[in-house]
Amino acid sequence: MAGFEESDSAPTAPHADPRGDPFLRTRFAIPARPAMFLRRDRLVRHLDRSCPTPLTMVNGAAGAGKTLLVADWATGRTEPLAWLTTEATDQQPAMFWAYFLQALRASGMPLSAELSCPAEAAGATDAGRVDHPLLARLAAELSARDLPVTVVLDQYDRVTDQVIAEQLEFVLHHAGAGLRLILVTRTEPLLPLHRYRAAGDMTEIRDAELAFTPQEAAVLLETHGLRVPLHVASALVDRTRGWAAGLRLCALAAKESPNPERYLKEFEADRSTVADFLLAEVLKRQTPETQDLLLKVSVLDGFSPALANALTERADAEPLLAGLCRENAFVEDLGHSRYRLHPLFGEILRAHLRMRSPGLEPALHRRAAAWLRSSGSLAETLGHGVAAGDWDFTAGALVDDLAIGELFTGPRSDDLAALFAPMGPEATSPAADLVRAARELSRSDLEHGLTHLGRARRSLEGLEGSDGLAESEGDGRPPDEAPGPVAARLSCELLEALAARLTGSPGRAEMAARAAEGLREEIPAHLLERHPEVTALLLTHLGSTRLWAGRFEDARAALSTVTESPGTAVTAAAREECLGRLALIDYLDGWLCRAEHKALEATTTAATMATAAAGTEGPRPAQPPDAAHPTGRALPPGAAHPSGLAQAPPSGMARLVLAAVAVERGELSHAQALLDTTDGPDGRGGRAGRGGRRGRGGSEGDPLDPVTEASRVIVAARLLLARGKPSAALAAVESAVRADVVSPWAQGHAALIASAAHLAEGRPETAVKLLQAVPDVQAACVVGAARAQLAAGRPDEAIDLLDRVRPEGRTGPAVTVRATLVRAEAAARTGDAAASRGLVAQALREARRERLRRPFLEVGAWIRPSLDTAPLRVLAAGWLVPGAQRPVEAPRSEDRPPPMVVEELSGRERDVLQRLARTMSTEEIAADLYVSVNTVKTHLKSVYRKLAVNRRNEAVRRARELHLL
């Protein structure tokens, strides 16, 4: 056997799980067979015969003997075998795969270093996701093995996440003969079982086969010291339907009874439900202490004797548990001094507890929570705290552990949000208010969030100087470890920084950051180390607020601290947000490629795969009806198709930046598609759709701060402008973004767009005035103003403006190319064609690297003669105008740039064109637009000219190519 041994020679876990908790070693151990275990050879042989099939499913009711059968079989194997007992906490794919990989390591299988924990893979991923390349690598490594590795997933029914099933299927499929999977489960897994069945690739052992035969039942009873004739055994099998747990309880009860034979007869005649009746029988034969212990630990999942003692308030758990294990009654030994109740009996015992001691359950949960808090398991503490209904305690445990940031980011965020969702108003501690504020702010609910944050702050200030928080009383945590108010105060400053970011208040954010800096020194170092997300979130909020205030350098300092720090699962979302914002800064500075690069980095953080994306956004090939499936259950879309493991959707800000870059490149449909998939101004619809069942948390939604909102407005307006809809663009930038202070760049860009819209509609003076109102420190605005002056017929003033500010300094091509084109146009107007051509050539050279097409499309018709000259044609060929030689990195066909520079169509020309596309006649168009036929003809002529065509159908075709329709 190659299971995980207790000895030190076993491979030790080098990693913690994605939550940062150490791996639970008991989950890799093959369960021990109890002394009275009965090996049934027919089943073992069936498992042996299953060897050639990649998938084996042992499927049966609770207590059917599935786990012990496979455990017994596994112990006799010589080839590599990994065991993993899955748990309900494995619903996050990253957690599941972290444990899966660790199980392989624990079995002694050498895994390459590249197969690190999903959380550590390739920088960072949201722990709700798993790296798709990681799974592909795992499958590749498995398929390269000479000897297949067998992986047993026990209690697989606890994994209900469809994405995990899809990923498991992906790995199983691609690992080929290198992996044999054995699923031990109560319910049918969400795998395409019909395909495996049809191909003969699957071995199934189900209830009917697991059921005891009368002969086996007779042997089982004999191991308990009961000799019965075959007809009695047969009757028992009838009564219990061969159910292992039933027979075992029956044997235990009969053994204890004064007259076993009569007892068995009575049982046979009784009509009670089997487990219920037998368990009550066996339970009442235990000593009062054992009964008390069993009933009380029924509220726990797994437990140590010490925790059991805490619940019973006695000290005898250890010998009692050992005795129960020996007897094989109710309790399973998980090793490492950890036990659990047999899941079936646990449920029934809980029912008995409720009946015998109504009202005791919450008290038991409270005791368990207090004990666990002092032993350091936060997740379990919170679970029992909530089960006890003690919200002040539970919130206090979270805040004191400095774990409040995990409500926003990381693998636990959804669980935590769900955990605290039912919290009522009765909890009044500062910690409870902090948790409330965090939940509300995470939903961008400022009004309620600020109210609760204010209340938490006031009560914390009231506590200043006192020894501890109300909620830290009596929890058994040694006083020197209780950071109490300090952790709460740091949490408070974190939320303050978030509130400042959401309201766009730079001063408030700086204050919070300074206060947090001071508090950090008072916090125990290990707490800060355990919660890198606190620092990352603080810097994200601070950087975003500085960005809003237009302090790009300071913003960059804060944001890049986060992106440059080593990524972990809990900081992945913050890193993504920071990258998105750094990308925005580059875009605003005019550096398209840099912006694009960062935005892509943010979106992929190494080709991650979102749970939501794989499940809902992946391609959905048609599924044949699942006729062969006995339950008739439809398969989840994409479950059978590894190709459905789609790439994660970029986060909001990164998408916006990519859309903005696409607009600048004239790839308008692409821009529109990106924009359509970001959250709307209301923010909720898109988010809910994309978040899917993961809800919020993680990376699918940046907080709705003014930076995001303003960026969205700007990108949408720029796209409208590029599509020749200036009045719509004008209306778009007029929608105000709410914030405490005005953001210079948001204001500047809004003015710039408005000015361009007025220019497009032939109102250069209005355009000039709009930009005069903006302080001329922003290079982009200066260039815009120069262009407006030029349009107003004042080329000298335009050049003056450019000379005064010299925007060519540290800004990127998106700004400088426009400046150069203004100079070129001014030169063209003064008749200096050579100088103009030289400047256009300079602009082309600079723009080519970035595929920056928009500036050339928006300048008007004067540039066409220049571009038609031979030297410039070469410079523009391939990316701006069709070239003789095809560009090496041709853009994807649907995003092919407009083949020719065109002059913008006017709104009326566009109206005519649209009707032309609907094959309306000139007369019909005239009637529809309430204009004369001659007017329509005039419009048509200028449309033909601008599109460089001669006929209607050509005009329509060209307009389609140019995305004008």
Partner 1 sequence: MRYEIRVDGIMSEAMVGSFPELEHVLMSGQTVLFGPVIDEAHLFGLLARCRSLGLRVLEMRQLPE
Stretch that binds partner 1, among 304-312, 339-347, 573-581, 642-650 (CB under 8 A): 339-347
212 binds partner 1 (CB under 8 A): no
Site string for partner 1, 30-49 (x = CB under 8 A): --------------------
Cβ proximity to partner 1: between 249 and 902 the closer is 249
| Interface residue with partner 1, options 11, 343, 695, 899 (CB under 8 A) | 343
The enclosing H or E element of 927 equals helix 922-929
DSSP-assigned letter for residue 617: I
Q: Find the shortest distance in angstroms from Cβ 351 to partner 1.
A: 4
Specify the residue, 208 or 355, whose C-beta has the smaller distance to partner 1. Answer: 355
Q: Letter for the amino acid at 324?
A: L
Dihedral angle sign, alpha carbons of residues 447, 449, 451, 454: negative
Residues 6+ apart with CB under 8 A from 811: 589, 590, 779, 780
Residue 130 to residue 117: CA distance in whole angstroms: 9
Considering the complex, state which of residue 240 and residue 604 has its C-beta at the smaller distance from partner 1: 240
Which CB, 187 or 921, lies closer to partner 1?
187
Nearest residue (CB) to partner 1, 271 versus 886? 271
CB of 61 to partner 1, least distance (A): 7
Question: Residue 16 pairs with which residues in a beta bridge?
Answer: 22
Please select the residue that binds partner 1; options are 188, 209, 347, 911, rule is CB under 8 A: 347
Shortest Cβ 151–partner 1 spacing (Å): 25
How many Cα atoms are found within 13 Å in the side-chain-facing hemisphere of 465? 2
Report 50-79 residues binding partner 1 (CB under 8 A): 61-63
Place of tokens 């031979």: 870
239 vs 581, beta carbon nearer partner 1: 239
Q: CB-wise, 349 or 460, nearer to partner 1?
A: 349
- Determine the Cα–Cα distance for residues 409 and 696; give it in Å rounded to an integer: 9
CB of 298 to partner 1, least distance (A): 11
355 interacts with partner 1 by CB under 8 A: yes
* Alpha-carbon separation of residue 211 from 43, 63, 237 (angstroms): 10, 10, 8
Q: Which is nearer to partner 1, 246 or 410 (CB)?
A: 246
Residue at token pair 């031990």: 184
Amino acid letter, 768:
V
- Is there a contact between 297 and 308 (Cβ–Cβ < 8 Å)? yes
Separation CA 588–CA 15 (nearest Å): 41
Cβ distance 588 to 750 under 8 Å?
no
Q: Where in 247-286 is the site for partner 1 (CB under 8 A)?
A: 271-277, 280
Nearest-CA neighbor of 753 among 803, 792, 712, 793?
712
Query: Binding string, 185-204, against partner 1, x = CB under 8 A?
Result: -xx-----------------
Question: Is there binding between residue 351 and partner 1 (CB under 8 A)?
Answer: yes
Tokens 């002092």 found at:
374
Among 245, 324, 378, 852, binds partner 1 (CB under 8 A): 245
Cα–Cα distance measured from residue 320 to residue 399, given in angstroms and rounded to the nearest whole number = 37
Cβ-contact 819, 804 below 8 angstroms: no
Nearer to partner 1 by Cβ, of 120 and 154: the residue is: 154
Q: Which is nearer to partner 1, 358 or 465 (CB)?
A: 358
Task: Quote the least distance from Cβ 145 to partner 1, whole Å.
Answer: 37
| Listed ranges 230-238, 240-248, 479-487, 919-927: which one lies at the site for partner 1 (CB under 8 A) | 240-248
Q: Please tell me the distance from the alpha carbon of residue 580 to that of residue 661, in angstroms, as a whole number.
A: 13
Out of 33, 137, 206, 241, the residue judged to bind partner 1 by CB under 8 A: 241
Residues 856-895 that bind partner 1 (CB under 8 A): none
Contact pick of 97, 243, 371, 408 for partner 1 (by CB under 8 A): 243
Binding segment for partner 1 among 239-247, 307-315, 682-690, 735-743 (CB under 8 A)?
239-247
Q: How far is the CB of 261 from partner 1 (least distance, A)?
A: 22
Strands 302-303 and 338-341: antiparallel
Nearer to partner 1, 629 or 957 (CB): 629
Distance, in Å, from the CA atom of 212 to the CA atom of 230, rounded to the nearest integer, reads 13
User: How big is the CA angle at 486 (ends 481 and 489), to the nearest 5 degrees?
Assistant: 150
Binding segment (CB under 8 A) for partner 1, from list 215-223, 343-351, 619-627, 816-824: 343-351
**Which is nearest to 384 in space by CA: 440, 307, 316?**
307
- Match 């009637």 to its residue by tokens: 927
Under the criterion CB under 8 A, does residue 834 sit at the interface with partner 1? no
Touching partner 1, residues 746-785 (CB under 8 A): none
The residue among 282, 321, 294 whose CA lies nearest residue 305 is: 321
509-to-80, 350, 514 alpha-carbon distances in Å: 55, 50, 9
Count of residues engaged in binding partner 1, rule: CB under 8 A: 27
Residue from 500, 492, 549 nearest 516 by CA: 492
Among 15, 350, 520, 530, binds partner 1 (CB under 8 A): 350
Q: Based on the shown chain and the rule CB under 8 A, indicate whether residue 693 belongs to the binding site for partner 1.
A: no
DSSP symbols for 673-700 = HHHHTS--TT-HHHHHHHHGGG-SSTTS
Copy the structure tokens of residue 154. Answer: 């026990």
**Candidate residues 130, 344, 492, 768; the one interacting with partner 1 per rule CB under 8 A:** 344
Q: Which of 273/932 has CB closer to partner 1?
A: 273
Distance CA 16, CA 24 (A): 9
* Closest CB to partner 1 among residues 361, 617: 361
813 residue type, one letter: P
**Cα gap 721→7, rounded to integer Å:** 70
**What's the min distance (Å) between Cβ of 217 and partner 1?**
17
Assess contact for 93 and 121: CB atoms under 8 A.
no
d(CA 467, CA 52): 66
Binding residues among 924-963 for partner 1 as defined by CB under 8 A? none
Report the nearest approach of partner 1 to the CB of residue 377 (Å): 24
CB of 637 to partner 1, least distance (A): 19
Within positions 279 to 318, which residues make up the interface with partner 1, using CB under 8 A? 280
Question: Of the two residues 344 and 434, which places its CB atom closer to partner 1 in the complex?
Answer: 344
Interface characters, 168-187, with partner 1 (x: CB under 8 A): ------------------xx
Cβ-count burial of 647 within 10 angstroms (0-12 exposed, 13-18 middle, 19+ buried)?
Answer: middle
Cβ closer to partner 1: 154 or 596?
Answer: 154
Q: Considering only residues 68, 149, 253, 348, which one is a binding residue for partner 1 as defined by CB under 8 A?
A: 348
How many Cβ atoms are within 10 Å of 523's Cβ, its own excluded? Answer: 18
Least distance from partner 1 to the Cβ atom of residue 389, Å: 17
d(CA 336, CA 133): 35
Binding track, positions 791-810, relative to partner 1; x by CB under 8 A: --------------------
Interface ranges with partner 1 (CB under 8 A): 61-63, 186-187, 241, 243, 245-246, 271-277, 280, 343-344, 347-348, 350-352, 354-356
